[in-house]
Structures are given as structure tokens and as C-alpha cells.
Amino acid sequence: MARGGLLASWLTKRRRSKSIDLAYRQMKNSVETVNELKRCLSAVIEDRLSEARKSIERLFLMEADIDELRRRVFAELSREEEASKFREDLMRLVWGLDVMADHVKDSARNLLILLDENVSPDLWGKYLKLVEDLVSCAQALLKAIEALAGRGREAIRYIGEVDRFEERVDEQYLAIRRTLIKSEDLKPGVLMALRDLLEFLERAADMCADTADYVRLLLV
């Protein structure tokens, strides 16, 4: 039996398997953290700082819920009579999205530090463009996972989109790093927080790509 077959009944089986239901919720919520980060950054650029703070608070609560869903998934899998390979594959996908959400949360922490600092709209615009591609990367990953339910070609197409958006994030990451290195107007502490924000965003995109690689293996 092909490895992909172990997850081929993802969507149809969800009603009968609590672990799959919880895992799917966890993955969707993980992707939603990236959307929330985008909303937050947009609010910062438009000088709606109170709304940005509320957005960060929501993101922190979302990430805590994702962690709880991950724990529940693992607990359910330990009780359900699923094939060991199925459990391993499902846990690996859940873990990948969980780590991505952790990096998004860490990005939001740095953004919170920067809310009252003097950062140019032009520089924030560069970060927003990167986050927009990160959103597309995470959404493509979720679609690739959903396509494991018997749509191999579609899954491969979405994996290709993950790779494409991850490459775009990498390009923007390098461009922003060059901008930060050349900056003479930013305070050292602000520069450090901006650098850390950039690093966590790049790690989130890398985790999307790593998880997409695992989905690719499931299709072999």
C-alpha cells in the first residue's frame, strides 16, 4: 500500500475519527495565525496601533489553542486503533504546522515590542509584502495536505506553490536584511527586534517548505 493511502481518507473519515478532526482544526488554525499576523502588520502601517495590539493578543490566544489541539491529537492517536504509520504521518504534519505557528507567535512578540518605535512605513511595507507571501505559502500547504485525500496531482501542484512562495520569502528576506544592514537611522534595540522579526518569518516559511516536502514523500 502506498504511504499516501494511509491518509487518503482524511476528509471522508473525519467524522469517524476524532484525531483527524482535531488535527484538521489544528492545521487550519495554524494557517490562520499567519492571516492574523498580516492583519496586525496592516494595522501598524495604517497607524491603528490599538487594533494591532488586539490582533497580537488574538494571535497569542490562537497559538495557545493550537498547542492544546496538538496535545489532544497526540492523546487521541494513542487511544485510537490506527495503523502505526498513519499515526506517525499525522503527527508529523501536526507537528510541522505547530512549529510554523510557534514562529508566527515569536514574530508577533517582536512586532509587539516595535509598536511604539519609529519604523518607516516603507520598511514596514517590505515586511508586509513578505508576510503576504508567507500567507500564500501556508495556504498552499494546507491545500496540499487536504489534497492527500486521493488527489495526487493536485497535491503536487500545491506543493509547487509552497516552494515558489518560500523562494519569494527567501528573496525578500535577503533584501530586507540588506536594508537593515545599511540603515543608519534605527536604534540598536529596534534594529535587533526587526532582525529577529525577520528571522522568525523566514523560519515559518522554511517550516512550510519542510512540511510540504513530507507531504511529497507521502505521495510516493
Burial class (CB in 10 A: 0-12, 13-18, 19+), 128: middle
* Crossing angle between the packed helical segments 121-146 and 152-182, to the nearest 10 degrees: 160
CATH number of 14-218: 1.20.58.220
Per-residue pLDDT of the chain (220 residues; tens, 9 = 90+): 334 444 545 544 544 577 888 888 999 999 999 999 999 999 999 999 999 999 999 999 999 999 999 999 988 888 766 557 777 888 899 999 999 999 999 999 999 999 999 999 999 999 999 999 999 999 999 999 988 876 678 889 999 999 999 999 999 999 999 999 999 889 999 999 999 999 999 999 999 999 999 999 888 7
The domains of the chain are located at 14-218
pLDDT digits (tens, 9 = 90+) for 23-73: 889 999 999 999 999 999 999 999 999 999 999 999 999 999 999 999 999
The answer to whether the beta carbons of residues 8 and 91 sit under 8 Å apart is: no
Residue-wise pLDDT for 174-188, tens only, equals 999 999 999 988 999
